[in-house]
């Protein structure tokens, strides 16, 4: 019989990343194998959870209370895990996390460098609960904050608490949430609306998706609390259409919350009514902008409007509206429950709490990371991220999404908070962090983002639409070797006009990638324009590869890596690249163990 004194919980990550790697079959296999298994004497429960953040090492399976975490689990491993770990309490070394910083395998993933520095508030439940199971959420203090405000706090007290906590909006602009609520509450114009911004248009960012998938109830609870505070009875969740799992889990959670009395009429007998509805977003980047988002909910074209009258006064259908980001909402219940002072202790004076970053690019550990505001960028990249892949030289970090900026390695000590990042000419944005090594061309990066924005601007203002287009043309010219020095001045001068003259924050930030790369990597622009050389070997028109005779040891590695057989040479002899055949893929450059492959400028420049 089952020994009910010992309970083992098996948590199988079923976030989008792990699902793509078949984690649901793993979950089903566990369910099937554990059902009526006569060898198992302990009580087991299996949970399909939200994303653990380390997607590239998934599928992730955690076993509690032993605190054992297995990574890259496959369906074939299930029997072994049951046999060895569940029944016999043994650890399977092969499946443990390999920590490249500590150079060892780690039993409890919380001890891994990637997780050790993290402080989870917004992501507190993700990976720990089954998002479809409201009881799981309740077991971890869910809906306690709602009880507290409904029966112990006045709407003003709720606003005071949020304002005192110093919480600033996590959607990008960092506007103080309490102030937003207070202003909205001050208008005596009803109905009022509460909106959750789940558009997450920033490519590469997936924290909002993770929260919606992995802990939908925290968003619901946060929104009800706001509804109570500003006297609104209706909320909308604007979620992008591609987010299938998020849409499914959010809808299930809303239905479940309603049947448990947390949503609908007379919530928990308090007399307060509030309900939620999901609106699917079309997936345009600009629809994440508040006024475009509201236009889109109203069924109009997703174009921003001038915000001289703000949406807290005239928002959705011209009624007072509070719009907050998914991550902002996830912070509300813990703030109410633990108090403003608890929250203020975390982070820095003007940037309280934590921020979730999605760490991607040329860094060893990629994934979602929640850390206190003000953590240094270097700590994120090296301590948590484990440094650069293949230990190549670190060059820069791009933060803030498509209209963020690039921060060079000289400024790696910059604290990650709203104000410090803005001072660098970059921004927080939604928290995307893209790490770049020496094989990244900064001019090409700027060009890439202008290309993205030229399609994603709504196209309403001349400055944004035509300005980005002109910047894109100039940058394309430079990467093709047709640039002139005056182009740099034009880019800077035009960039400033676009920032000042555009209508919404998309246009007002769009030049950031260009202006920051000019500010920190001007030499690289000059190399492209004057020396007709792309030092990173990215712009094909401006790159040649050659092998330094002095350094080459004739190992032949580059010859084997070349996809077009452009390299010749016998073993232990100096190798040569045939310029006529070379397609400039750069394989030899990264493969050479002696760094003997060098990057030269355009062939015609010699």
Ligand X SMILES: Cc1cc2nc3c(=O)[nH]c(=O)nc-3n(C[C@H](O)[C@H](O)[C@H](O)COP(=O)(O)O)c2cc1C
Give dist(CA 324, CA 197) in Å, integer. 6
CA torsion angle 65 370 27 79 (round to 10): -60
Report 295-354 residues binding ligand SF4 (CB under 6 A). Answer: 304
Q: Is 504 in the site for ligand X (CB under 6 A)?
A: yes
CB of 248 to another protein, least distance (A): 28
CB of 175 to ligand SF4, least distance (A): 18
CB of 428 to another protein, least distance (A): 22
| Contact residue for ligand SF4 among 460, 532, 559, 575 (CB under 6 A) | 460
Binding partner selected for residue 199 from another protein, ligand X, ligand SF4, none, CB under the kind-specific 5 to 8 Å limit: ligand X
| Contact residue for ligand X among 50, 171, 216, 405 (CB under 6 A) | 171
Which part of the chain contacts ligand X (CB under 6 A), choosing from 221-229, 321-329, 390-398, 554-562? 321-329
Q: Is 175 in the site for ligand X (CB under 6 A)?
A: yes
CB of 302 to ligand X, least distance (A): 10
* Runs of H (alpha helix) within 530-586: 557-561
Are 253 and 131 spatial neighbours (Cβ–Cβ below 8 Å)?
A: yes
Maximum pairwise Cα distance, the chain = 86
Is 19 or 505 the residue whose CB approaches ligand X more closely? 505
CB of 358 to another protein, least distance (A): 24
DSSP state of 392: P
Binding partner selected for residue 466 from ligand SF4, ligand X, another protein, none, CB under the kind-specific 5 to 8 Å limit: another protein
- The helix/strand/coil state of 4 is strand
Q: Which of 357, 351, 350, 382 is nearest to 371 (CA)?
A: 357
Is 1 or 306 the residue whose CB approaches ligand SF4 more closely? 306
Q: What does the DSSP assignment read for 281-292?
A: E---GGGGSHHH
Which part of the chain contacts ligand X (CB under 6 A), choosing from 272-280, 281-289, 553-561, 574-582? 281-289
Which part of the chain contacts ligand X (CB under 6 A), choosing from 4-12, 406-414, 499-507, 551-559? 499-507
| Contact residue for ligand X among 130, 136, 161, 199 (CB under 6 A) | 199
Is 179 or 501 the residue whose CB approaches ligand SF4 more closely? 501
Which part of the chain contacts ligand SF4 (CB under 6 A), choosing from 186-194, 455-463, 478-486, 574-582? 455-463
Q: Is 513 in the site for ligand SF4 (CB under 6 A)?
A: no
Binding partner selected for residue 420 from ligand X, another protein, ligand SF4, none, CB under the kind-specific 5 to 8 Å limit: none
Give dist(CA 62, CA 45) in Å, integer. 12
First to last CA, the chain: 82
DSSP state of 411: G
Give dist(CA 46, CA 10) in Å, integer. 5
CB of 452 to ligand SF4, least distance (A): 13
| Burial of 448 (C-beta count, 10 Å sphere; 0-12/13-18/19+) | middle
Total of chain residues touching ligand X, rule CB under 6 A: 23
Q: Which of 287, 324, 279, 122 is nearest to 199 (CA)?
A: 287
| Contact residue for ligand SF4 among 331, 457, 512, 543 (CB under 6 A) | 457
Rg, the chain, Cα only:
27
CB of 225 to ligand X, least distance (A): 14
Nearby residues of 592 by Cβ (< 8 Å), 6 or more positions away: 557, 558
Is 363 or 504 the residue whose CB approaches ligand SF4 more closely? 504
Give dist(CA 310, CA 183) in Å, integer. 10
**What counts of helices (H) and strands (E) characterise the chain?**
23, 19
Q: Is 443 in the site for ligand X (CB under 6 A)?
A: no
Report 326-345 residues binding ligand X (CB under 6 A). Answer: 328
Binding partner selected for residue 256 from ligand SF4, ligand X, another protein, none, CB under the kind-specific 5 to 8 Å limit: none
Binding partner selected for residue 131 from ligand SF4, another protein, ligand X, none, CB under the kind-specific 5 to 8 Å limit: none
Q: Where are the beta strands (DSSP E) in 301-414?
A: 321-325, 354-361, 367-372, 394-399, 405-408
* Count of Cβ atoms closer than 10 Å to residue 256 Cβ: 19
Sheet holding 321-325, edge to edge: 275-281, 234-240, 193-198, 321-325
Q: Which residue in the shown chain puts its C-beta closest to ligand SF4?
A: 507
Report 374-433 residues binding ligand X (CB under 6 A). Answer: 430
Q: Token pair of 257, please?
A: 């919350």
Q: Is 353 in the site for ligand X (CB under 6 A)?
A: no
| Contact residue for ligand SF4 among 196, 450, 503, 577 (CB under 6 A) | 503
Give dist(CA 87, CA 83) in Å, integer. 5
Q: Is 201 in the site for ligand SF4 (CB under 6 A)?
A: no
Give dist(CA 135, CA 345) in Å, integer. 30
Give dist(CA 169, CA 596) in Å, integer. 49
Q: Which of 373, 495, 358 is nearest to 434 (CA)?
A: 358
Is 386 or 425 the residue whose CB approaches ligand X more closely? 425
Task: Give the residues lining the site for ligand SF4 (CB under 6 A).
Answer: 286, 304, 457-461, 464-465, 502-504, 506-507
Task: Give the residues lining the site for ligand X (CB under 6 A).
Answer: 169-173, 175, 197, 199-201, 285-286, 288-290, 323-325, 328, 430, 504-506
């Amino acid at each position: 019989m089952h020994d009910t004194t010992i309970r083992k919980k098996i948590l199988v990550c079923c976030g989008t990343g792990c699902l793509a790697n078949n984690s649901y079959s793993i979950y089903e296999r566990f369910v099937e194998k554990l059902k009526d298994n006569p060898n198992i004497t302990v009580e087991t429960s299996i949970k399909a959870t939200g994303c653990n953040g380390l997607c590239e090492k998934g599928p992730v399976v955690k076993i509690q209370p032993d605190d054992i975490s297995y990574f890259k689990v496959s369906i074939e491993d299930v029997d072994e895990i049951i046999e060895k770990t569940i029944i016999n309490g043994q650890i399977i070394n092969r499946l443990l996390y390999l920590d490249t910083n500590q150079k060892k395998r780690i039993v409890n993933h919380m001890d891994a460098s990637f997780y050790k520095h993290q402080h989870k508030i917004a992501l507190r439940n993700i990976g720990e609960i089954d998002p479809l199971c409201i009881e799981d959420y309740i077991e971890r203090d869910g809906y306690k904050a709602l009880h507290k405000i409904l029966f112990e706090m006045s709407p003003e007290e709720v606003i005071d608490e949020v304002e005192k906590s110093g919480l600033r909006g996590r959607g990008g602009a960092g506007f103080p949430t309490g102030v937003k609520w207070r202003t909205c509450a001050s208008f005596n114009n009803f109905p009022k609306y509460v909106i959750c911004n789940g558009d997450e248009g920033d490519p590469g960012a997936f924290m909002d998706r993770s929260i919606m998938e992995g802990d939908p109830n925290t968003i619901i609870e946060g929104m009800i609390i706001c509804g109570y505070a500003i006297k609104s009875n209706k909320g909308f969740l604007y979620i992008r259409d591609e987010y299938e799992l998020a849409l499914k889990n959010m809808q299930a959670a809303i239905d479940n919350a309603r049947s448990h009395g947390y949503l609908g009429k007379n919530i928990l007998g308090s007399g307060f009514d509030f309900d939620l509805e999901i609106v699917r977003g079309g997936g345009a980047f600009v629809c994440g902008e508040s006024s475009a988002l509201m236009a889109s909910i109203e069924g109009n074209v997703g174009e921003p409007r001038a915000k001289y009258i703000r949406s807290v006064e005239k928002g959705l259908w011209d009624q007072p509206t509070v719009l907050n980001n998914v991550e902002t909402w996830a912070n509300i219940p813990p703030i109410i429950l633990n108090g403003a002072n608890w929250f203020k202790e975390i982070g820095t004076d003007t940037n309280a709490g934590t921020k979730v970053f999605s760490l991607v690019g040329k860094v060893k550990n990629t994934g979602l990371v929640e850390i206190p505001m003000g953590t240094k960028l270097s700590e994120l990249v090296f301590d948590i991220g484990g440094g650069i892949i293949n230990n190549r030289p670190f060059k820069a970090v791009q933060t803030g999404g498509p209209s963020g900026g690039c921060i060079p390695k000289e400024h790696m000590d910059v604290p990650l908070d709203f104000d410090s990042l803005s001072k660098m000419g970059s921004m927080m944005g939604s928290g995307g962090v893209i790490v770049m090594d020496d094989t990244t061309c900064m001019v090409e990066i700027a060009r890439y983002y202008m290309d993205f924005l030229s399609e994603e601007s709504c196209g309403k203002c001349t400055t944004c639409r035509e300005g980005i287009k002109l910047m894109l043309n100039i940058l394309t010219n430079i990467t093709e070797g047709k640039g002139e020095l005056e182009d740099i001045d034009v880019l800077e001068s035009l960039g400033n006009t676009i920032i000042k003259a555009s209508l919404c924050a998309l246009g007002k930030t769009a030049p950031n990638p260009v202006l920051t790369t000019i500010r920190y990597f001007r030499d690289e622009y000059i190399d492209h324009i004057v020396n007709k050389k792309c030092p990173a070997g990215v712009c094909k028109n401006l790159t040649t590869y050659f092998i330094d005779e002095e350094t080459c040891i004739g190992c032949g590695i580059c010859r084997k890596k070349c996809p077009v057989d452009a390299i010749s040479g016998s073993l232990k002899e100096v190798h040569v690249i045939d310029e006529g055949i070379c397609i400039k893929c750069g394989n030899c450059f990264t493969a050479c163990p002696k760094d003997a492959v060098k990057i030269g400028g355009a062939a015609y420049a010699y």
